[in-house]
Chain A
Amino acid sequence: MTARLVFDVAAGLAILFAAVMVVHRHPVKSVLALVVSFFALSVAYVMLSAPLIAALQVIVYAGAILVLFLFVLMLLNVPEEVRQKSGRPIHHTLSALAIVVFAAVLLGALRAHGATNAAPSTSPLTGEVAPVARLLFSEHLLSFEALSILLLAALVGAFALARREGRT
């Protein structure tokens, strides 16, 4: 019962702060809202008995990637966005249409896959370190290694691009 309550609160906070992230005009505040959202997500993962994913969520996303975002925003000193009003009614119509379509797709997907159930009943051990590691290094070994090579290629690519720019 308490577990369910904690999950609901965490999930609610995650959604709320994700919305704040989109709506807020200040880029730094947006990043911070995303940090809170990720933290709440990680609490939700713990309640779904996946502590490893929860820890990785905080270490990788909140602790490393978003710190880098913040780093860049602070270095560039990005000011608060000025909200622009476009005078053309077509913009409003199109964006309203996009929102409606997206909401319809989302609702349809939720209906079809029965998201009304409570948190999926996982056996208490599936999210622990050892089972995840075993799956990662047996069944999904190929995709795991392919992903790491992809990341390495992206890294080398970024480095090459940065170098070329530096020389000119």
Chain B
Amino acid sequence: MSLADVGFVLLRVLGPVLVILLILPIPMWVERRGAALIQDRPGPNRVGPFGLLQPLADAVKFFMKEDIVPANADRFLYVIAPGIAVFSAMTTFAVIPYGATATIAGREVPLIGADVSIGILYLFALTSLSVYGIVLAGWSSNNKFSLIGGIRSSAQIISYELAMTTAAAGVILVAGSFRLTDVVAMQSGTWFGFLPRWNVFPQFLGFVVFYVATFAETNRVPFDLPEAEAELVGGYHTEYSSMKFAMFFMAEYINMIVASALTVTLFFGGWTLPGFHPEGLGGVLLSVVIFAAKTAFFVWVFIWVRWTLPRFRYDQLMRLGWKALLPLALVNLLSTAALVVWGVL
């Protein structure tokens, strides 16, 4: 392996992570301005044009705040918990294909961190680890509100993970592979000449269940019970301040982006578009732009829903997860299996 190969691998792996970190202020800004739009008020508009520099001002503020560790907290776990949250959020992006295969200097560079055969399983493995960040934060803070937030989070994530994986199983069934590049490749082209071959059309039910479950997995309204401020102060991050709090904040936004990217990959054809054949470097760049645009749309839906729907009660959350989403995901899986057996899909 030459130095250039190492360089390309580093670029493939670190590129998307760095880009996500760099664009992270944008969804934060969109969240605040979007909230203002929906609530019919101006929102942040003092720092820079349209308040665009607000996230930067927030970051400076986070850095300047005192970093407090509560007196009876478990120091070690308290410090590593936000790290776990950010780590599991960032590493999930590695297996999502974010563009067509580029040919740079005579080398084929597939735009994906690692095209592994267990792609989607790797993703689910890391999302299931993300719960440790929240649970440990809640427990190590030595605060009742934090503890309840952590406990809620572990129950919630385990419950919704079932519905989410079962919904995704329908896609895997049709693609016949856990490899996400295969999932994307299988969704290129059209049905009847106009309908894109996206999984969302034959498996609309699966898409709805999956997308609803991602809201619970990312702790977003209407399922943000681990941090429900009306009853738990701040939930699992009640005791966190300064950059440690900011890390939980970052993890939430990265999780949102990854969840949107995964939804696009599984149900909306990833970077493909009917009639679009990437040629040359320009075409490859265009494929990345298509992927980013689709992802941005779903990030916007996350924000839209947050400022539109009220929060669920905890028993309602559990009832929805176990008695509605899981059976619906199973119906989707069975109907998809039937379609595959009959040779329709």
Contacts and interface: CB of A to CB of B under 8 A. Distances in A.
B121 A71 contact: no
Contact of A64 (B118, B151, B158): B158
A68 B158 contact: yes
Given A55-B122, A128-B117, A71 B129 contact: no
Contacts of B122: 55
Contacts of A128: 117
A120 B178 CA distance: 26
A35 B132 contact: yes
A59 B125 contact: yes
Given A62-B128, A63-B124, 17 more contacts: A32-B132, A51-B118, A52-B118, A55-B121, A55-B122, A62-B125, A62-B129, A63-B128, A63-B129, A63-B161, A67-B128, A70-B135, A70-B154, A74-B147, A128-B117, A129-B117, A129-B178
B53 interface: no
Contact of B118 (A55, A62, A71): A55
26 contacts: A28-B139, A32-B132, A51-B116, A54-B118, A55-B118, A56-B121, A58-B128, A58-B129, A59-B124, A63-B124, A63-B131, A64-B128, A64-B158, A64-B161, A67-B132, A67-B154, A67-B157, A67-B158, A68-B154, A68-B158, A70-B139, A71-B151, A71-B154, A74-B138, A74-B147, A128-B117
Interface of B: 77, 116-118, 121-122, 124-126, 128-129, 131-132, 135-136, 138-139, 147, 150-151, 154-155, 157-158, 161, 177-178
A68 B116 CA distance: 29
A118 interface: no
A54 B116 CA distance: 12
B132 A55 contact: no
Contacts of A35: 132
Nearest to B135: A70
Contact of B128 (A59, A70, A71, A75): A59
Contacts of A54: 118
A64 B157 CA distance: 9
Contacts of A32: 77, 132, 136
B135 A74 contact: yes
Interface string A40-64: 0010000000011011101100111
Interface of A is mostly: helix
A74 B118 contact: no
A74 B117 contact: no
Interface string A70-96: 110011000000000000000000000
Contacts of B150: 74
Contacts of B158: 64, 67-68
Interface residues of A, number: 22
Interface string A111-130: 00000000000000000110
Contacts of A70: 135, 139, 154
B199 to A, nearest CB: 19
B121 A59 contact: yes
A136 to B, nearest CB: 15
A88 B124 CA distance: 50
Contacts of B116: 51
B135 A67 contact: yes
B337 to A, nearest CB: 14
A112 B125 CA distance: 36
A163 B125 CA distance: 32
A62 B126 CA distance: 10
Nearest to A63: B128
A75 B118 contact: no
B151 A75 contact: yes
Contacts of A52: 118, 121
B81 to A, nearest CB: 11
A32 B131 CA distance: 13
A117 B247 CA distance: 45
A71 B152 CA distance: 9
